[in-house]
Structure 1
């Protein structure tokens, strides 16, 4: 009971100590919930039944029972229940049952990350061991040795992989996987909500290719999907898989008691409503739990923030042994390091971990008691996923969301009802994005030739195939389109980003032992790996000595400095084509194709602790061009005639800032997926305009959704400004510190004008 006592003691400190208590905006306690159970299916194989009983499972939760019933009846389905509700059995039961009945039967499991795949393999293998049957379950990823690969291809009943491996290593070499494709009965897609935006659009096309190959080998597999809570799970599952789906949404699992605390850092400048840094408050809160040996996970929004918090926490914990038990976890770390951290969390060796959303997914990392979020994660679904990392196995759990000064964080923290009662966001994908689609048609043609009249899972292709033949990518002969290149196309197509090449990070601190320590996508590298940038890795500081942009290599050396760096990106935008336009009395609302030119310009050096600017420097990198979709709103000159040009510009930039933070609430995307910029005179119409564009080539439907729901977005933006307690405008609403009342008033005026006209459109 020692753990309960110390957790309760700290909760008491938060409630009673002035400097904590005064910052708690909302304390929401979710009571424990009893589970709802059903009897085991009567047709379940006795060996499987016994293995479950040995693990203490004699009945199923209602959602698991329903999943087994649907799978047995040949239905495709998606199960949507919270973290730690036993979703794994929704697919493991029908799959194992089927293989026990027919040993030739095969299943393919897709997980978005390698960590999840490894985790699931351990769980399923434990069950197989307990049954004592000859059932082979293997992971197939980049870490699988060549010797094992052959065994997986020939004898794997359950092949556990990720979309990237399916795309680049399995489908292009399907002739080596005949026994899998001929006998494929189930395709399991876990963590469905992750497949949104550009990644989801890519994966939907990988699934189209997979179905095409299954058809070639004469199989017609069933789809089983599981997801965290989103607003449109059925629609997303159907778009992703191209099949009709049944929905399971009633959760029968029990849940532990959870304390959800909304924490707003203290105001350090009242007139300007500037708050203390969220990072520094997280250090203070996490320190309280870690000093008392309470296992804690801290989530941060960016790689840089993870490393800053990690540095702070290690300084705070004086004991050397304890310092080693606090680790960072994020993309860019090498696989061996990540597995080691996951293991350390499970067996309790690691006391605290600071992570990006890489640990948000269902990897079993043991029984963490506390989850602290540095700022709102960007979506309600993501926040609940992170919260679900605490209290998975025992007793009470504490979740603390520490707000930053950003408008989105302040909106969420001051509207707890929105967070607890609002439907989670809609996940959007666009499998027919031309850039993505053409890439995957090349891959599909390499795998199997297209005949005239063939469709791509129902999509007409004739025009695209003719175009590819004219471009000499495909060879047309005897009513058939063949791939005609030496290399295979999947190798050059990344599912994770719009940019095809990653920048490799090379540590040359020790010339005798130069090594690769990580990698980063090209767009991020412009602002995080430029010359002189401070790159943080596991709390160690490295300075970028040279970024070789042509070769995509960043050379870094270990340093010890008391600052980090932050870079500016200059953006130019031009409208290429207006697809939709509503011309109103005072405002134009448009949607169409745009071209965006982005250039990293200068970087600032920011001191740890005080976060003051202590220097800056130029960035010399070429411009990057992006062709995408955008929604926009243009104000007619007569509408803003009363404002001077300076006031007009300040208000327009502030309105864009508010919209940048509010718009991602409406479409389930990371704020970095949807960019907002203001132009005082837009190139295409000479009017003051705000653009909201997808940060991906060809767009994935985010800005289109914004165009369709613009009234809701503007309503939320106005509410955010009205609810901010500052007098003249501050970083928590309009994004700048203002000494005159006019900027906040003018921003409110512009947004209200835009909203009034949008209201007319809706009616």
Structure 2
């Protein structure tokens, strides 16, 4: 279930008469004049396919132990394309299981052939989330696959171990540019066995930054060819209009596009919210912050898991302060409200990410640092405090 408001917008995923629907009705009844537009996104049934017959039994056991007995249709299509050696881009909505589209072939190759894989994510939060996901799969099936992050937070004494022992190295384009490719001789063993390169959240690599990343990818391919490898690229993205064109521009090769999602989705309500006029003579409206706080407060009081996206680090801290004053007044009780943004120490960010995955936080206020596909458990309501700047980023948050 999901809900969203922006002073701005609100989107909500609903079932039968559940708390989210009641919240939507309360908002519509009490604040009808502030809701300037509504839309209902219909529910979508799942399209399932069996696990591949050639899947390693240990990997199949790990999946089943985590409740995955079948694959969504787009996951199976991705498996077929990637294992056939075709560069592939997967473009399906948020929370549709894109991670398995690349994790399955990567883990299969690591188990069968001790092949290596390089994952590139745009944010450290996403890297940590992916490593946590791989560790859980690893433990569930006793796979023995070693996955490590390699970024600015990686201690100097751990970097050699990552280079020599990592089956899956999770990094970002900046670190690839500055910390890996200039020192490729130290990574020789890794590059010789590199089978897959995963580029997640591809839609974030646009404009001048995207052209820089495309050149870094070309350097990577040149280094791989020097060491005798020719990795398959697997890209994933939120819904955008031209995924194949963008993917081909990034890697310089034709790609297979998978755009039909087989994942289910509940019905969602999207509300566009305009703050009320507080001074008609001057044409002044209430702030977006006050409206986002009001909606988030109502949602949390209804025991709905909520995320609030803000446009700046300062606004994250302001919103967090207002909501903590309401819900975290008693220091003896676990915190219900948490903030997430760049600028926190690595240890603080890891603690928050862990609490989010475990569902121990009722409301999180975040910048775009938490926007890109991080697993934050089940959500009921999402509040956008302002327009993110692009349609793709808006749908990514929804």
1:231 is paired with a residue of what secondary structure? coil
1:129–1:316 distance in 2 versus 1, CA, 3 Å: closer
Q: Which residue of 2 aligns with 1:364?
A: 375
Deviations 1:350-394 (A, max 9, x none): 32222111111111111121111112211111111111xxxxxxx
Residue 149 (str. 1) matches residue 162 (str. 2): no
SS in 2 for 1:56: coil
Q: Report if the CA contact (8 A) 1:78-1:226 is conserved.
A: yes
Partners of 1:229 and 1:381 within 8 A in 2:
yes
After superposition, what is the alpha-carbon deviation per residue over 1:200-234, rounded to whole angstroms, capped at 9, x for unaligned?
22211211211111111111111100000112211
Note the residue ranges of structure 2 that are not aligned, 5 or more in a row.
1-14
Number of the residue aligned with 2:5? none
1:297–1:355: 8 Å Cα contact kept in structure 2?
yes
Cα deviation code 1:461-500 (max 9, x no counterpart) = xxxxxxxxxxxxxxxxxxxxxxxxxxxxxxxxxxxxxxxx
**In the aligned structure 2, how far is the partner of 1:159 from the partner of 1:136?**
9
Give a deviation string over 1:68-115, Cα, whole Å, max 9, x none. 111121110111001111111111111112222212x21111111111
Partner of 1:49: 60
> 1:34 Cα deviation (Å)?
0.8
Per-residue deviation at 1:316? 4.2
- Counterparts of 1:84 and 1:260, CA distance in 2: 17
Find the aligned partners of 2:110 and 2:195 in 1 and give their Cα distance.
9
Larger RCO, structure (CA 8 Å, separation 6 or more): 2
Displacement of 1:149 in angstroms is 2.2
Alignment of 1:290-439 (within 5 A): 290-317=300-327, 319-321=329-331, 324-387=335-398
Contact 1:309 1:354 in 2 (8 A): yes
Q: Is the 8 A contact 1:317 1:323 kept in 2?
A: no
Tell me the C-alpha RMSD between the 2 structures. 2.1
Partners of 1:268 and 1:276 within 8 A in 2: yes
The alpha-carbon distance between structure 1 residues 260 and 323, as it changes in their structure 2 partners (threshold 3 A), is farther
Equivalent pairs counted in the alignment come to 382
| Kept after mapping to 1: 8 A contact 2:90/2:257 | yes
Q: Distance in 1 between matches of 2:334 and 2:141?
A: 42
Which one of the candidate residues 78, 94, 118 is aligned to 1:108?
118
**2:29 is aligned with 1:16:** yes
Judge conservation of contact 1:314–1:323 (CA < 8 Å) in 2: no
Secondary structure of 2:137's aligned partner: helix
Deviation at 1:288, TM superposition (A): 1.4
2:133 is the alignment partner of 1:133: no
Shift of 1:199: 2.6
* 2: CA distance, partners of 1:249 / 1:218: 32
Which SS does the other structure have where 1:33 is aligned? coil
CA contact (8 A) 2:359 2:376 kept: no
TM-score norm. by structure 1 comes to 0.48
Structure index of larger Rg: 1
Q: Within 2, Cα distance between the matches of 1:120 and 1:242?
A: 26
Q: Tell me, what secondary structure is at the counterpart of 2:169?
A: strand
Q: Per the alignment, do residues 333 and 201 of structure 1 end up closer, same or farther by CA in structure 2, a change over 3 Å counting?
A: farther
1:98-145 CA-partner distances (Å, limit 9, x unpaired): 222212x21111111111111111212222223323322222222223
Q: CA deviation at 1:274?
A: 3.8
Distance 1:76 1:180, change over 3 A: same
- What are the superposed Cα offsets for residues 27-84 of structure 1, whole Å, 9 maximum, x if unpaired? 3222321111122222222222222222222221111111111112111011100111
Measured in 2, the distance between the counterparts of 1:138 and 1:344 equals 21
Q: Residues 612-647 of structure 1, C-alpha deviation per residue, up to 9 Å, x if partnerless?
A: xxxxxxxxxxxxxxxxxxxxxxxxxxxxxxxxxxxx
SS class of match (1:320): coil
Aligned partner of 1:446 in structure 2 is: none
Cα deviations by residue, 1:392-415 (Å, 9 ceiling, x for unpaired): xxxxxxxxxxxxxxxxxxxxxxxx
| 1:733 equivalent in structure 2 | none
1:174 equivalent in alignment to 2:174: no
Q: Does 1:33 align with 2:44?
A: yes
1:305 deviation in Å?
2.3
Q: Could you say if the C-alpha distance between residues 47 and 311 of structure 1 is closer, same or farther in structure 2, counting changes exceeding 3 Å?
A: closer
Instruction: Give the match for residue 109 of structure 2.
Output: 98
- Mapped contact 2:305–2:363 kept (Cα < 8 A): yes
Match of 2:203 among 193, 196, 204: 193
1 or 2, which has the higher strand percentage? 1
Contact 2:338 2:364 in 1 (8 A): yes
Aligned mates of 1:344, 1:320 — CA distance in 2? 19
The alpha carbon displacement at 1:342 in A equals 1.8
Distance in 1 separating the partners of 2:112 and 2:261:
29
Residue of structure 2 aligned with 1:73, choices 76, 84, 91:
84
1:520-572: CA deviation from partner (whole Å, max 9, x where unpaired): xxxxxxxxxxxxxxxxxxxxxxxxxxxxxxxxxxxxxxxxxxxxxxxxxxxxx
Could you say which residue in structure 2 is the equivalent of 1:683?
A: none
Closer/same/farther in 2, CA of residues 349 and 98 from structure 1, 3 Å limit: closer
**In 1, distance between residues paired with 2:387 and 2:395?**
11
Q: Give the TM-score taking structure 2 as reference length.
A: 0.90
Report which of the two has the higher share of helix: 2
User: Secondary structure of 1:22's partner?
Assistant: helix
Measured in 2, the distance between the counterparts of 1:203 and 1:279 equals 35
Distance of 2:139 and 2:340 partners within structure 1: 31
Deviation at 1:255, TM superposition (A): 0.9
Q: 1:25 to 1:319 in 2, by over 3 A?
A: same
Whether the 8 Å CA contact 1:23–1:266 is kept in 2: the answer is yes
